[in-house]
Copies of this chain bind each other. A is one copy, B any other.
Amino acid sequence: MSFDRLQQKIDEMKNPTVVGLDPALEHVPPEILDKHIAEHGETLQAAAQAVLEFNEGIIDAVHDVVPAVKPQSAFYEALGPDGVAALKMTCDYAKTRGMYVILDGKRNDIGSTASAYSTAYFGKVKVGGREISAFDVDALTINAYLGSDGVLPFLKTAVECDKAMFALVKTSNPSAGELQDRFIGDDRMYTVVGDLLEKISRETIGRYGFSRVGAVVGATYPEELEFLRGRLKHTFFLVPGYGAQGGAAADVAHAFDKDGRGAIVNSSRGIIAAWKKTGAGYKESARAEALRMRDELRRVVYA
């Protein structure tokens, strides 16, 4: 099962880290961008090719010590169709290097539209007599505001194609609480959403006890993280907000179960833009920061 494969990779590397590939152009070393501009002019194609080269370098630098990558779709969409092609090639490259690929797109819709999204990222589209994958990632982030109609079409395709997803539950941003913390009866909204996800996914639990519908729970709210870990026993957590957004290793420790399982912690800028602080090459800088983060997480998760 998809999350079993992820947990196994995490266990093998003793590293519950996912590297966020959020290649805003300011994070790409200028010499890479300049090289592609020299070839293709000041175009989105040049930018997209620079992003792809940058991502491949990051993947090469971390693939043997980090189990997963999480490309953030927005940064590729910002470069138009060429950027989306670079996104696809980034996902494909990460898979050839053995990494688990979580596409962060926070997609959401209902019925045939939700099915089209799940076909795009999990399944195959039929053209004439041939079935073709558009993206084929391991997991996708989704947003559950539409209710179970907005999750079940993704889950159906995930079961058919052995994929998984993470739905937003308690996000890491300062205003997350404006809606998510409000009380519905005796429970906060994030609890109501989390309970709904547990309920609709309970037939899909794998060997480590987690279903195909995970949850995004921010590192910046450690008490809520601890509460939700206790409540949502079959939910794998994707934890943003470590590092740049202020979450510390002691905070994210709450995301893991007693066996040190059931969560993966994201770092984006902290790793991919480490070169801006070190002054060294971007690959060495990313690897050094990934190893530092791994060692820091090991101390709190596997202690």
Q: Which A residues lie at the B interface, using CB under 8 A?
A: 22, 24-25, 33-34, 37, 42-44, 46-47, 72, 74-75, 77-85, 87-88, 106-114, 116-117, 119-121, 125-130, 132, 134-135, 143-150, 168, 171-180, 182-185, 189, 192-193, 196
**How many chain copies does the complex carry?**
2
Contact of A189 among B81, B117, B184 (CB under 8 A): B184
B74 and A85 contacting across the interface, CB-CB below 8 Å? no
B125 and A47 contacting across the interface, CB-CB below 8 Å? yes
**CA gap between A224 and B179 in the complex, in Å:** 20
A145 and B127 contacting across the interface, CB-CB below 8 Å? no
**CA gap between A134 and B83 in the complex, in Å:** 9
Q: For residue A37, which residues in chain B have a CB less than 8 angstroms away from its CB? A: 127-128
Q: For residue A171, which residues in chain B have a CB less than 8 angstroms away from its CB? A: 110, 145-146
**CA gap between A72 and B108 in the complex, in Å:** 12
**CA gap between A235 and B252 in the complex, in Å:** 39
Query: Can you spell out 13 A-B residue pairs with CB atoms less than 8 angstroms apart?
Result: A22-B113, A24-B116, A43-B127, A44-B127, A46-B128, A47-B125, A47-B127, A72-B109, A77-B116, A80-B88, A80-B120, A106-B107, A110-B173
The chain B residue with its CB closest to the CB of A135 is B80
**CA gap between A127 and B127 in the complex, in Å:** 36
A30 → chain B closest CB, angstroms: 10
Contact of A175 among B84, B121, B149, B193 (CB under 8 A): B149
19 further interface pairs, Cβ-Cβ under 8 Å (given A34-B128, A74-B109) = A24-B112, A25-B125, A47-B127, A74-B116, A75-B113, A78-B117, A79-B125, A79-B134, A81-B84, A81-B87, A145-B168, A145-B180, A146-B171, A146-B179, A147-B179, A149-B175, A150-B175, A182-B184, A189-B189
A173 and B189 contacting across the interface, CB-CB below 8 Å? no
